[in-house]
Amino acid sequence: MRRNYLKFGDKADNGATIIEGIDKVNYGGVYLTYLYAKVRCPVCNTIGTIVPSGPRRPGKWMGREPALHHDLCACECDPKPHLISSQSGMFMSFEAQELAAMGFSPTGTPLPKSLLPAGLPEQDLAESTDNNPASGPSGQPATDCSYLDGSKSRIDAPPAFYVSKNAVTLSSGRPVQADFPAGGKAAATQYDAKIDGKQIPIFVPTRPPADGLPMIGERQLAKALEKLPQQNLENIGQVTTNSSPNPEDAIWQRDYGQADFSSAATASLKQGVAFYPWAAWKGQGEIPQRYIDSTMFHETGHQVSEALWKDPAMKQRFEDAIASDGKAPSQYARRNANEDFAESGNMYWSSKGTPCEAEGRKRYPARFAYFDSVSK
């Protein structure tokens, strides 16, 4: 799920209006706002303040903690009205596992106390200033670079960092029999994505996933292909979106010691890129493009490393970079060198040319130097 940041002038569901913002931190020319900023309520005719409600991560802009969509207006109204964000370009996003650890369901509602993990308080709102903001242009909000600080489960850059680099055209679909990594031969629709003279087939199964799980469609996959750097495009033979889970999940559950592990996607030079149903998004409608982009960067990174590491010296160089940096860019990167390469490639390419590139180079100089040397 995601929670959009609130701005000066945003309203509550009863018509109350936010009348304070954070100086020098704006979006679309309007100041973003913060917890305990003033709100004018026309219903009870009082001045209230914004109080927190729901999941959030600690962090401050200009010394103030930002307010989020569905925070509350603490005025004299009962029940307290919820504040509604008018913008959707800047937000705080959460994975289902992260929400569960914080005591919330995948939709952001508090879990019953009986379902809270042992020892977990109902909500932890401890403040922190270690949110790694990068300086933005004058008059613009600082960019949150905490996605690459190593504490997150995986690299998911801000949506605006995944920018279109390639012109992609998508053909109309035609019925075929396709060989899916999950399930084998099955009826499917084939779409052809054409990128700079290269044609990449996308296979979508006719049978939808069981239990109402969302399946990534051909248009979202084509959008993700638009954003890949050249070397990631070179190795893609095909893309499949599967209606069944990865049959090798049991192996990873054993190897990772994680009973509920499920693959979002897998990739190899032989197989191509395969996406699977995402249980975390059940009942949430369409999966946000940001996570599809991020996963496409990660999986095609596996293909890049497979091609590069045919020369053992190239793998050794990357392992030396890991040792030199001394820390991993995400929890998933800690599993092994293959996952580290895919996560580091996602970090490198998503931050390239953004305010977070300098933060990444400062934290992981050896990895950035490695990718500088192999990039085209």
Q: What angle do CA 211, 215, 216 make, to 5 degrees?
A: 165
| pLDDT value of residue 128 | 31
- pLDDT of 118 over the 50 cut: no
Residue 251 has what pLDDT?
83
Query: H or E element: which one contains 47?
Result: strand 46-51
Total count of residues recorded for the chain: 376
- What pLDDT, on a 0 to 100 scale, did the predictor assign at position 41? 95
Walk me through the domains of the chain, giving residue ranges and CATH numbers: 1-144 (2.60.200.60), 168-374 (3.40.390)
Rounded CA-CA distance 317/324 in Å is 10
Tell me the CB-side half-sphere exposure of residue 85, using CA atoms within 13 A: 22
Nearest Cα residue to 274 out of 211, 188, 194: 188
- 278-308 CB burial, b ≥16 within 10 A, e <16: bbbbeeeeebbbbbbbbbbbbbbbbbbbbeb
Q: Decide if 48 contacts 73 (C-beta within 8 A).
A: yes
Name the pTM for this structure.
0.63
Mean pLDDT over 76-96 rounds to 87
DSSP helix/strand/coil, 203 = strand
Model confidence at 114, pLDDT cuts 50, 70, 90, reads very low
Going across the sheet that includes 83-84, the strands are 72-74, 46-51, 38-41, 17-18, 11-12, 83-84
Mean pLDDT of 157-179: 90
**Tokens representing residue 110 in the block:** 């508090």
Between 63 and 337, the higher pLDDT residue: 337
pLDDT of 336 above 50 = yes
Q: Per residue in 123-132, pLDDT tens?
A: 332 323 333 4
Q: How confident is the model at residue 88 (pLDDT cuts 50, 70, 90)?
A: confident
Arithmetic mean of pLDDT, 274-282: 83
The amino acid occupying position 309 is W
In 3D space, the residue among 151, 46, 142 whose CA is nearest the CA of residue 98 turns out to be: 151
Question: Secondary structure of 96-118 in the HEC alphabet?
Answer: HHHHHHHCECCCCCECCHHHCCC
What is the structure's pLDDT at 285?
Answer: 67
Where is pLDDT greater, at 327 or 287? Answer: 327
Average pLDDT of every residue of the chain: 85
The pLDDT tens digits of the residues spanning 170-214 come to: 999 999 999 998 878 999 999 999 998 899 999 999 988 877 788
Question: Quick one: angle between helices 312-325 and 337-351, nearest 10?
Answer: 70
- The predicted structure's pLDDT at residue 127: 29
